[in-house]
Amino acid sequence: MEWRQFIIKSESNGSTIYKGHCIDLLDIMAYLLNFTYVLVEPPDRRWGVEIDGHWDGIVRQLIDRVVDFTVAPLAMSSERQRVIDFLSTPISYEYSDVAFRRLDQTMSKWRLLLDLFHPKVYLCLAVALVTVSSILAYIVHRTEGRTHGFVMSFAVSLWHMYACMCQRGGLIPRTGSGRMLVSSWCLFSVIMASIFSGKLIATLAVPKTPTPFHSLTELLDSEQYTLGIVGGEAHQQFISESTDDVLLRLWHTIMKHNKTDPSVTSSNVSKHMDRVLLGEYALVYTRYKEETPWSCDVDFLGQKIAVFTASLAMPKNSPIASDFNKLLMILTDRGIIQKLEDKWLSASSTCASTTSRTRPVTEQDLQSAFYTLIVGIVSAFVVLGIELLYVRIVKAS
């Protein structure tokens, strides 16, 4: 069964060629145990899950003894161990994760300044600004005997408090209570401005790739993404039979999408990959350790949904199982299995990394600052128009 670096299938001059981790392992075992072999693929191209008491895929071939053993990273599970035997020495450790397309960094840089803080932080800052300005306006209006009304006092206090946030100084009241309030607000503004500046410098120097969601729950709450899973795997059976609330919700969501789009449970990994790269498609994907994504545009959620051990499998009570078990243990003890892992399965990425080194700041990184200036200029002209209109109305009356 073709599966990434474990078994790579290709065509050459009309003949099928297999290579990869499992094929190298098979050739070593064939040489040391002195046997020849014929490779047979499962007709339904499925790994094997139990549906209404009947197994399919590779597991079905083992049960019917159509094949002598598997040469694929078949995940161990209690359900499969009831009907087939696994070799005691595993060939890989894998877990389910969620794969999705990375967001385009250039498309989101226009809101760089907004993304530095969570929206709730900006909301709290706005509430704090209005509240402190109202208190200061009340103090000034009650104690300093201003001739204008409370609304004008609030407007003046609001602009002065905003100036403090920009570290440009502000109103200094005559009373001790007013000065205590303003000094506390200025100290608060200095702290917030320092945090904002620090995050801005860090983001410009070592930017982080934005993610559309940070947890499985956030993904399930998003109606924008279609969810898929590689059909016929042990991971599918584990998730479908899980009693965990989040995993149950995950499976129900996949089944809901499957009603309108049966391809979301296809066993063809390549088709799933193509859909992930198109965007707005999340795939429950089996990873090997810290496996490199198949594309630099693909990222993983980093949440281990289900963890499995994979090994070679044989029919129940196979007469050749003991020989294979002994040989696989010897190959593991002598480091041969580790060398195959280093050759085929070690994570090696050619994608440009920005997480471990700084980079120059470009004009795209600074576009949000220019947008802020443009908004300020447009707002100033709008207010100017309102003021001119007000003056004209006053003169006319």
Query: pTM of this prediction?
Result: 0.62
Q: Which residues of 129-150 are buried (b: 16+ CB within 10 A; e: fewer)?
A: beebbbbbbebbbeeeeeeeee
Q: What is the mean pLDDT of residues 81-108?
A: 85
Instruction: Return the minimum-mean-pLDDT range out of 162-171, 213-222, 297-306, 377-386.
Output: 162-171
Query: 52 versus 32: which is more confidently predicted?
Result: 32
Taking each helix axis from N to C end, the angle separating 21-33 and 336-344, rounded to the nearest 10 degrees, works out to: 150
Strand (E) or helix (H) holding 174: none
Torsion of CA 276, 282, 284, 289, to 10 degrees: 70
Three-state secondary structure string covering 146-157: CCCCHHHHHHHH
Average pLDDT over the chain, rounded to whole? 85
Positive or negative, the CA dihedral 211, 214, 215, 219 is negative
Residue type, 201: I
Torsion of CA 392, 393, 396, 397, to 10 degrees: -150
- Output the pLDDT for position 16: 92
- Output the pLDDT for position 350: 57
Q: Which residues of 161-199 are buried (b: 16+ CB within 10 A; e: fewer)?
A: beebbeeeebbebeeeebeebbeebbeebeeeeeeeeee
Q: How far apart are CA 353 and CA 45, in angstroms?
A: 36
- Output the pLDDT for position 323: 95
In tens, the pLDDT along 15-42 reads 999 999 999 999 999 999 999 999 999 9
In order, the DSSP letters of 38-57 are: -----TT-----EETTEE-H
CB atoms near residue 390 (< 10 Å): 10
Query: 296 versus 37: which is more confidently predicted?
Result: 37
Has residue 263 got a pLDDT over 70?
A: yes
CA atoms lying within 13 Å on the CB side of residue 12: 6
Burial class of residue 295 in the structure, from the number of CB atoms within 10 Å of its CB (0-12 exposed, 13-18 middle, 19+ buried): middle
Instruction: Return the minimum-mean-pLDDT range out of 98-107, 259-268, 276-285, 307-316.
Output: 98-107
Residue 35 Cα distances to 32, 88, 330, angstroms: 8, 21, 18
The percent of residues in the chain predicted with pLDDT above 90, rounded, is 36
Has residue 230 got a pLDDT over 70?
A: yes
- Output the pLDDT for position 355: 46
The two tokens of residue 41 are: 């693929």
Q: What is the mean pLDDT of residues 70-87?
A: 92
Q: What is the mean pLDDT of residues 285-310?
A: 80
Model confidence at 295, pLDDT cuts 50, 70, 90, reads confident
Q: How far apart are CA 98 and CA 87, in angstroms?
A: 29
Burial class of residue 237 in the structure, from the number of CB atoms within 10 Å of its CB (0-12 exposed, 13-18 middle, 19+ buried): buried
In tens, the pLDDT along 111-125 reads 777 778 888 998 999
- Output the pLDDT for position 172: 74
Q: What is the mean pLDDT of residues 158-182?
A: 80
Q: What is the mean pLDDT of residues 284-306?
A: 79
- Output the pLDDT for position 339: 92
The percent of residues in the chain predicted with pLDDT above 70, rounded, is 90
> Which residues, in sequence order, are CB contacts of 98 under 8 Å at separation 6+?
216, 219, 282, 283, 284, 285, 300, 301, 303, 305
Residue type, 180: M
Q: How far apart are CA 233 and CA 63, in angstroms?
A: 17
Model confidence at 197, pLDDT cuts 50, 70, 90, reads confident
Q: What is the mean pLDDT of residues 38-59?
A: 91
Instruction: Return the minimum-mean-pLDDT range out of 224-238, 330-344, 361-375.
Output: 361-375
The two tokens of residue 363 are: 């004009």
Q: What is the mean pLDDT of residues 88-93?
A: 88
**Cα diameter, the chain:** 109
Q: How far apart are CA 245 and CA 238, in angstroms?
A: 13
Q: Which residues of 244-262 are buried (b: 16+ CB within 10 A; e: fewer)?
A: eeebeebbebbeebbeeee
Three-state secondary structure string covering 222-260: CCCCEEEECCCCHHHHHHHCCCCHHHHHHHHHHHHHHHH
Model confidence at 106, pLDDT cuts 50, 70, 90, reads low
Rg from Cα positions in the chain: 32
